[in-house]
A and B are shown apart, each in its own frame.
Chain A
Amino acid sequence: MKAIAARIGQALGLILAVIVLNFLLIQIAPGDAATAIAGDQSASDPEVIAEIRAQYGLDKPLIVQLGTYIGQVLQGDLGQSIWFDEPVSGLLLDRVGPTVLLSAAALTFAVVFGVTFGTIAARRPDSLLSHAVTVLALVGYAMPAFWTGLLLLILVGVNFSFFPVSGMHDISFNGNWWESWLDAGQHLILPALTLGIIYLAQYSRLSRASMLEVLESDYIRTARAKGLSERSVIFKHGLRNGVLPVVTILGLQFGAVLSGAILVESVFAWPGLGRLAFEAVTRRDTPVLLGVLLLVSVSVILANLVTDLVYRIIDPRIRVSGARND
């Protein structure tokens, strides 16, 4: 119980640190906030600038400004977008759904196929498939996600009209919620495949290695000696332990997946957080860019926390020792 409280405290500390980092980035970013707020016309007027400084508290000491900033963030106020002239938090909320959909689809694809390939490969370590898994892992890692996406577009998207090449819905789309999901699903295939291939490669290699180890262990030999069917040995006994490393990595890779989504979303014009970050870069919309960074970092911290807590619940070995081995 004490360990769990400490773990939650640690997550809160990290969230606070991320907010402070965001504040520091705003401070060191070139360009003056007051001038930006004043706009082009009144920026040269020192009186207007001084007034804005006083109004927004920009004349106060940094530490006071930091306090104000933390207070604002905790209330969900992430400032105003320069390009859209809308609150950043609203823009972020609009884009969360598509990114979650894309990442979840990519990871499901990667886990299902990765663990399957890895398990089959581990049963016959010298088979053709086993070597194919090793090659696939290397190739999948070495292909930059955005390049894979473009190649898929060149090879598939352009030749087969079934796969729409960009966006989440057809521009002329008009239908009920069911057709809307179907349409989005059709748009989802190529981006999810692109993002998923990287992780498919990693998970198949990881589960191959871990299953190889598990299948050599004593309890599997016992299960075989008992006369259990091969299927029962592999799926009921082996896979349960063999899949653990994949679960661990899955929790830790949350941030990496969202980072990968930035590139993939920008290739396929998928309207998620990554696309928003890319737009913010090209439009020099710093508040939006920092908002995405803050939101994604906090999600990563929470995802890690949840993985950790779930782990403590499932795995009695961790529950007893109270600490995870690094």
Chain B
Amino acid sequence: MTDLFMMDAETAPQVKGQALKLFVRNRAAVLGLIMLIGIFVMTFVVPIWYVKDPGDLIARPHLKPGSPDAPLLGTDNLGRDLLAVIVYGGRTTLSVATGAAALIVFVGVSIGAAAGYYGRWVDAALMRFTEFFQVLPGLLFAIVVVALFEPSFWTITFAIGSVSWPGIARLTRAEFLRLKNLEFVKAARAIGSSDFRIITRVILPNALPTLIVSSTLIMGSAILFEAGLAFLGLADVNNPSWGLAIGRGREAFTINWWAVTFPGLAIFFTVLGLSLVGDGLQDAFNPKLRGR
């Protein structure tokens, strides 16, 4: 697959078209994409006409979905509209996850690229550093960071980002090790390109398919991380989020199953959608691995 991506500019679009075709033909991947579009519409389009304050106590607590004068998904323990909590909670969850995923990819790719490209002592030092973060128990370290400082958008994003980058760093390093001695890189060096240019403009684009697939999966794991932290109460309590809603719902889960179930379904479909799309991209970029 990457051999194909190393073709000159004229044939490249054709190859990308092929990848797109493979992706569209993959029913699971399309299903995943539909889930993601659904989640996106729910979080960013629905609020345009479903104008609610998710913190408002609009009715009696524990109103079952479907019972008279209950909102569509019922009310939670305090009488908040559960649909509003889910619709507006998506913003927090998705923005933290996007921020964390961006941080993870940036740190991971930078460290992996430097280690793989420069090799020798740079590689040795950076890999020791990576190993250290790899043995840290991720969720626990994130809990410590958020608990020591106040839970806010930035501390949570930083906490998730700081523990999850080793995987992508190793992946980038492996890609760089594979690519750096190939002809086209030597050619770039021969015409006097700077190291920075070779790393960012020559090698990185060839590692992109692998990195895109992996970023999709990272996004999913960042959502699970955020939800876990929020469930434990490590979230900004002024902003609703799916994990926080489950954490609150558990206090009365025996009589109010819907307050736990529906926010969980939102997390479930988002992560499932991301996994399906990630797998689909993997198959599209690298048809040889299909079904593995």
Interface flags for B134-169 (1: CB within 8 Å of A; 0: not) read 011111110110011100000000000000000000
* B231 & A262 in contact (Cβ 8 Å cutoff): no
Q: Please classify the interface of chain A as helix (H, G, I), strand (E, B), loop, or mixed, using the class held by over half of its residues.
A: helix
Q: Is B109 located at the chain interface by the 8 A CB criterion?
A: no
Q: Is B271 located at the chain interface by the 8 A CB criterion?
A: yes
Q: Which residues of B contact A290 (CB under 8 A)?
A: 144
* B140 & A262 in contact (Cβ 8 Å cutoff): yes
CA distance A290 to B292 in the complex (A): 40
Which chain A residue lies CB-closest to B292?
A: A209
Q: Which residues of B contact A17 (CB under 8 A)?
A: 132
Query: Which 8 residue pairs spanning A and B have beta carbons closest together?
Result: A259-B139, A147-B264, A142-B272, A142-B271, A255-B137, A29-B148, A209-B292, A281-B147
B69-119 residues with Cβ-Cβ distance < 8 A to A are none
Q: Which residues of B contact A10 (CB under 8 A)?
A: 131
Which of B149, B231, B267 is A263 in contact with, Cβ under 8 Å?
A: B231
CA distance A297 to B137 in the complex (A): 6
Which of B138, B149, B260, B291 is A151 in contact with, Cβ under 8 Å?
A: B260
B235-269 residues with Cβ-Cβ distance < 8 A to A are 243, 246, 249-250, 253-254, 257, 260-261, 264, 267-269
How many A residues touch B, CB cutoff 8 Å? 54
- Nearest-neighbour CB distance to chain A for B76, whole angstroms, equals 14
* B254 & A154 in contact (Cβ 8 Å cutoff): yes
* A25 & B135 in contact (Cβ 8 Å cutoff): no
Which chain B residue lies CB-closest to A130?
A: B291
Q: Is A158 located at the chain interface by the 8 A CB criterion?
A: yes
* A150 & B250 in contact (Cβ 8 Å cutoff): yes
* A158 & B254 in contact (Cβ 8 Å cutoff): yes
* A144 & B264 in contact (Cβ 8 Å cutoff): yes
Evaluate whether A289 and B143 lie within 8 angstroms (CB atoms) in the complex, with A141-B275, A256-B138 already known: yes
Evaluate whether A255 and B257 lie within 8 angstroms (CB atoms) in the complex, with A125-B291, A147-B267 already known: no
Evaluate whether A150 and B260 lie within 8 angstroms (CB atoms) in the complex, with A259-B139, A281-B234 already known: yes
* A259 & B148 in contact (Cβ 8 Å cutoff): no
Q: Is B63 located at the chain interface by the 8 A CB criterion?
A: no
Q: Please classify the interface of chain B as helix (H, G, I), strand (E, B), loop, or mixed, using the class held by over half of its residues.
A: helix
Evaluate whether A25 and B148 lie within 8 angstroms (CB atoms) in the complex, with A292-B140, A293-B140 already known: yes
CA distance A25 to B145 in the complex (A): 8
Which of A284, A286, A301, A326 is B170 in contact with, Cβ under 8 Å?
A: A326
* B140 & A259 in contact (Cβ 8 Å cutoff): yes
Q: Which residues of B contact A213 (CB under 8 A)?
A: 292
Q: Which residues of B contact A14 (CB under 8 A)?
A: 131-132, 135
Q: Which residues of A contact B174 (CB under 8 A)?
A: 326
Stretch at the interface among B42-50, B178-186, B207-215, B220-228: B220-228
Q: Which residues of A contact B224 (CB under 8 A)?
A: 144
Q: Which residues of B contact A30 (CB under 8 A)?
A: 148-149
Which chain A residue lies CB-closest to B139?
A: A259
A interface, CB within 8 angstroms of B: 10, 13-14, 17-18, 21, 25, 28-30, 125, 138-139, 141-147, 150-151, 153-154, 158, 209, 212-213, 255-256, 258-260, 262-263, 266-267, 277-278, 280-282, 284, 286, 289-290, 292-293, 296-297, 300-301, 304, 326
CA distance A292 to B233 in the complex (A): 18
CA distance A58 to B210 in the complex (A): 50
Q: Which residues of B contact A158 (CB under 8 A)?
A: 254
- Nearest-neighbour CB distance to chain A for B277, whole angstroms, equals 11
Q: How large is the interface on B (under 10, 10 to 19, 20 to 34, 35 or more residues)?
A: 35 or more
Which chain A residue lies CB-closest to B270?
A: A142
Evaluate whether A282 and B137 lie within 8 angstroms (CB atoms) in the complex, with A14-B131, A147-B264, A262-B143 already known: no
Which of A18, A212, A266, A297 is B232 in contact with, Cβ under 8 Å?
A: A266
Q: Which residues of A contact B227 (CB under 8 A)?
A: 144, 146-147
CA distance A148 to B164 in the complex (A): 23
* A282 & B135 in contact (Cβ 8 Å cutoff): no
* A138 & B143 in contact (Cβ 8 Å cutoff): no
Q: Which residues of B contact A145 (CB under 8 A)?
A: 228
Given A10-B131, A144-B267, 5 more A-B residue pairs with CB atoms under 8 Å apart are A21-B136, A29-B148, A139-B272, A144-B224, A145-B228
Q: Which residues of B contact A141 (CB under 8 A)?
A: 220, 271, 275
* A304 & B135 in contact (Cβ 8 Å cutoff): yes
Which chain A residue lies CB-closest to B149?
A: A30
* A147 & B275 in contact (Cβ 8 Å cutoff): no
Q: Is B276 located at the chain interface by the 8 A CB criterion?
A: yes
